[in-house]
Amino acid sequence: MAIREVRACGLDYLALATELLHRARLADPEAGLCDLEAADLQWWWRTPRRSDTVEQVFWLDDDGPVAGVVLTDWGRAWGCDPILVPDAWTVSLPTVWARALEAVTASGLEAVEVSARDDDLELLGLLAEAGFVADNRRIGETWMDAEDRRNVAPLAEGFTLVDRAQHTSTPHPMQRRNGDGVEARLRQCLLYDPALDLAVEAPDGKVAGYALFWFDPVTEVGMVEPMRVEDEYQRRGLARALLTTGLDRLAKRGARRLKVAYATEAARRFYVGAGFRVTSTSTSHSCRPVDMGEGR
By CB under 6 A, name the binding residues for ligand COA: 227-229, 234-240, 262-264, 266-267, 269-270, 273
Question: Are the C-beta atoms of residues 227 and 123 closer than 8 Å to each other?
Answer: no
Of the pair 80, 274, the CB lying nearest ligand COA is at: 274
Q: Please work out, in degrees rounded to the nearest 5, the angle formed at the alpha carbon of residue 116 by the alpha carbons of 85 and 287.
A: 120
Of the pair 20, 267, the CB lying nearest ligand COA is at: 267
Of the pair 101, 208, the CB lying nearest ligand COA is at: 208
Shortest Cβ distance from residue 192 to ligand COA (Å)? 18
Gap between the Cα atoms of 82 and 93, Å rounded: 8
Of the pair 57, 229, the CB lying nearest ligand COA is at: 229
Question: Are the C-beta atoms of residues 197 and 212 closer than 8 Å to each other?
Answer: yes
Gap between the Cα atoms of 265 and 207, Å rounded: 24
Shortest Cβ distance from residue 236 to ligand COA (Å)? 5
Gap between the Cα atoms of 243 and 238, Å rounded: 9
Phi, psi (deg, nearest 5) at residue 10: 60, -140
Are β-strands 78-84 and 112-117 bridged in parallel, bridged antiparallel, or unpaired?
parallel
Shortest Cβ distance from residue 137 to ligand COA (Å)? 12
Of the pair 23, 228, the CB lying nearest ligand COA is at: 228
Q: Render 2-14 in DSSP notation, one character per residue.
A: --EEEEE-HHHHH
Of the pair 186, 227, the CB lying nearest ligand COA is at: 227
Shortest Cβ distance from residue 161 to ligand COA (Å)? 13
The alpha-helical segments, DSSP class H, found in the chain are 10-27, 38-44, 93-106, 121-129, 175-178, 182-187, 238-253, 265-273, 289-295
Shortest Cβ distance from residue 43 to ligand COA (Å)? 12
Q: Please work out, in degrees rounded to the nearest 5, the angle formed at the alpha carbon of residue 211 by the alpha carbons of 205 and 216.
A: 140
Question: Are the C-beta atoms of residues 188 and 45 closer than 8 Å to each other?
Answer: yes
Of the pair 131, 237, the CB lying nearest ligand COA is at: 237
Gap between the Cα atoms of 183 and 193, Å rounded: 11
Shortest Cβ distance from residue 268 to ligand COA (Å)? 8
